[in-house]
């Protein structure tokens, strides 16, 4: 039985690294603990700030889990423990939804994969990593990229018009010089 879970863990790690490869970054970054979670959040939500919410929920869950073991009959500890466990499920669902939203297959976003990702993460991550789904990013990141591209194009057009204006000025000065020398 332990061998089955070891194989399942290795399978998930390989699929996780495949998803990082689809992000367009090194697959090996999926192997580095904590850093891989930060990168995952950066690529599926556009910011790393949501990682702090995840760390906070898990820290509270851990602390009250330990207190629940030490004081099993304390009502407030058990209530807080159940609330944090619920928050862990909510955060896990949010992560699954954002992963599905960041990938596209046949021109459609994969939000439906969120439920499958929550229930069967190994299989679904393998489908995302090694299937025909492609990473398309999220709307905010894409919008920022398009905005920056438009600004760069606008600056390039301004530079081109400045160059052509300078060329026109140079040509006009050359014509005036030729006109004066021919007299």
Quick one: pLDDT band at residue 172, thresholds 50, 70, 90? low
Any residues with CB less than 8 A from the CB of 108 and at least 6 apart, and which? none
Q: Which residue, among 173, 169, 150, has the nearest Cα to 161 in the 3D structure?
A: 169
| pTM for the structure as a whole | 0.64
Q: Mark which of 118, 137, 156 sits at the end of a domain.
A: 137
- Strand, helix or coil for residue 105: strand
Let me know whether 182 and 98 are in one domain. no
- For residues 107 and 146, membership in a common domain is answered with no
Amino acid 147: pLDDT: 47
Task: Check residue 76 and give its pLDDT.
Answer: 77
User: pLDDT tens digit string along 89-115?
Assistant: 888 888 888 888 888 888 778 778 888
From the CB of residue 165, how many other CB atoms can be counted at a distance below 10 Å?
10
**Polymer length of the chain:** 183
Residue 39, pLDDT score: 85
Q: Are 100 and 169 within one domain?
A: no
Distance between CA atoms of residues 180 and 154, nearest Å:
39
Residue 96 shares a structural domain with residue 170: no
Residues 153 and 64 in one domain: no
Q: Which domain holds residue 165?
A: 138-183
Which residues is 131 bridged to in the sheet? Answer: none
Q: How many domains does the chain have?
A: 2
**pLDDT tens string 38-72:** 888 888 887 777 777 777 777 877 777 777 667 76
Same domain, 183 and 98: no
CA distances from residue 168 to 161, 172, 179 in whole angstroms, order as listed: 10, 6, 16
């Amino acid at each position: 039985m332990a061998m089955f879970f070891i194989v399942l863990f290795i399978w998930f790690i390989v699929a996780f690294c495949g998803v990082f490869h689809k992000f367009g970054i090194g697959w090996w970054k999926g192997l580095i603990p904590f850093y891989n979670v930060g990168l995952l959040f950066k690529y599926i939500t556009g910011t790393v700030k949501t990682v702090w919410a995840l760390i906070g929920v898990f820290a509270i869950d851990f602390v009250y889990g330990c207190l629940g073991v030490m004081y099993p009959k304390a009502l407030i500890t058990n209530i807080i423990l159940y609330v944090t466990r619920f928050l862990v499920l909510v955060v896990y669902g949010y992560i699954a939804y954002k992963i599905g939203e960041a990938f596209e297959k046949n021109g459609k976003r994969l939000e439906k994969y969120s439920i499958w990702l929550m229930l069967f993460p190994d299989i679904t991550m393998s489908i995302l990593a090694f299937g025909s789904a492609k990473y398309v990013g999220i709307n905010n990141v894409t919008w920022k990229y398009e905005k920056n591209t438009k600004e760069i194009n606008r600056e390039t057009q301004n530079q081109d018009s400045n160059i052509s204006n300078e060329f026109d000025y140079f040509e006009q000065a050359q014509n005036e010089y030729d006109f004066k020398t021919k007299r």
